[in-house]
Amino acid sequence: MQLVRHAAVAGTFYPGDATVLLRDVRRLLGEARPMALRPKALIAPHAGYIYSGPIAASAYASIMPLHALIRRVVLLGPVHRVWVQGLALPGADNFETPLGQIPLDQTAMQALRGLYQVEVNPAAHALEHSLEVHLPFLQAVLDDFSLVPLAVGGASAEEVAEVLERLWGGDETLIVISSDLSHYLPYATAQDIDRQTVQHILEFDTNLVGEQACGAHALNGLLLAARHRGLTAKLLDLRNSGDTAGDKDRVVGYAAIAMLEPGDAG
């Protein structure tokens, strides 16, 4: 019997109706500025689509030309509800959204189970939105693909990088790090802080903290692995909820960043 992790935030973070959801995602992708890139990894936000959807679309539009090439997505995002010290696999066979089911790469996940920092924890995934909100974008952009979803708690940069190295693969594998930036600051303050944080990311600084980016633990691990492999980083979009949803009193920051392997700058 197949174990399915069902959608937890369909109808709240994004539309629960498949037709409406696909229409909205395609509209967001169509409004994004196309970039001639071949990303190995993406950093994209995970709020409700009304807030962060346009910025997430800036990331995912960059892989539209790779729709048939990418066959596996390694997706890491921070835990918001159930704490884990390291990284957690879901103990499932498929993830489901209103757009259908995505098979999990069982072989890849099995290869991680010898690592002390990786556990199987379905509870960490059951209600977690930081991974789920990316799935409709991936389903809309890519052809058939499998998923390796990891919920990240207090893992160090070295622990995350070790996991990513085992999953790195070739052109068929895309790595996605789910992270927002600053939270609940006035608009202008958030802009300044988020610009500084993005500069740290572009310089591969692996000492980010949660106040800068809620996905800092996973992000630091990607930056460490990417630095070792000689990747470059390109900012695709930087906005906040004041730009997308209107309220500028307490905003959340969002960035879309692509990581490119040598020779893949477009």
Kindly report, residue by residue over 241-252, the tens digit of the pLDDT. 999 997 999 999
- 205-227 burial string, b = 16+ CB within 10 Å, else e? ebebeeebbbbbbbbbbbbbbbe
**Helix/strand/coil for 2:** coil
* Residue recorded with tokens 């997505």: 73
Question: Tens of pLDDT along 20-54?
Answer: 999 999 999 999 987 889 999 999 999 999 999 99
Task: Give burial (CB, 10 Å; 0-12/13-18/19+) of 254.
Answer: buried
Residues 110, 215: Cα–Cα separation, whole Å: 24
Strand pairing class (87-89; 146-152):
antiparallel
Instruction: Give percent helix, percent strand, percent coil of the chain, each to the nearest 5.
Output: 35, 25, 40
Residue type, 172: E
* Residue 45 contacts residue 179 (beta carbons within 8 Å): yes
Question: Tens of pLDDT along 171-197?
Answer: 999 999 999 999 999 999 999 999 999
**4-260 belongs to which CATH class?**
alpha beta
Strand pairing class (72-78; 146-152):
parallel
Question: Tens of pLDDT along 207-225?
Answer: 999 999 999 999 999 999 9
